[in-house]
Amino acid sequence: MLAWKQGLPPTWTRALHEDAVTEAFAALHLTEDPRVPADDDSPAIEVLEYLDERVEMHGLSTKLRDAVVNEYARAQWRWEPALENGTLAKHPRLAQLALTAAIRSNDAQLLAKLEAAGLSFNGPLQGSARPVQVAVLKGSFAAAAFLAPRTKPVPPRLFGESHVPPSVECVRAMKALRWWQTSTS
């Protein structure tokens, strides 16, 4: 259509279309594997459902659908290789994805690896919320317990922000926070 609107010869149409599709996929930066959506709010679900509908109702070949999904999956940003090769701290977006994954999985051991890789836990992670705040809001109290003593200054009312009932990890995090605040004052 673009070629037709611009008055270009019909032979250019296919080349322009292929270039546009390649460029569109290259511009994608997914934060999770679209073939295995992390939750019901994942934008990948809409794409997968759309493609499945095209197969079931409109005759799209499963081979083509699978090729599109695999190309779509290539757009996923992977932070694990950067952690393994020691370059994660040089890539802020990958570092943010790694920190989000550690908090989502409530993984204090992964947080320790991220700290050893040179990541800071004091900057914003979601909006203006810092990692410790995100951990508390998500009920990831083992992660919050790890992050609290490493967050300067600790946000006021930190543990009053969660709607999740307190757990053993929450109590430990609060004790760690109180110890840290009294030891640094």
pLDDT tens per residue, range 74-88: 777 889 999 999 999
**What pLDDT does 152 receive?**
76
Evaluate whether 105 touches 111 at the Cβ level (below 8 Å).
no
Query: Mean of the per-residue pLDDT values for the chain?
Result: 76
**What pLDDT does 73 receive?**
77
Rounded to whole angstroms, the Cα distance separating 162 from 174 reads 13
Q: Which has more pLDDT, 131 or 18?
A: 131
Confidence of residue 168 (pLDDT cuts 50, 70, 90): low
**What pLDDT does 26 receive?**
58
Evaluate whether 25 touches 74 at the Cβ level (below 8 Å).
yes
pLDDT at 120 over 70: yes
Query: What is the SS3 assignment for 47?
Result: helix
Closest by alpha carbon to 43, among 27, 53, 32?
32
Confidence of residue 169 (pLDDT cuts 50, 70, 90): low
Q: Which has more pLDDT, 14 or 105?
A: 105
Rounded to whole angstroms, the Cα distance separating 161 from 43 reads 27
Number of Cβ within a 10 Å radius of residue 179: 12
pLDDT at 5 over 50: no
pLDDT at 19 over 60: no
Q: Which residues pair with 76 in a beta bridge?
A: 30
pLDDT in tens, 23-77: 665 556 666 666 776 667 667 778 888 888 989 998 888 998 888 888 877 777 8
**What pLDDT does 2 receive?**
45
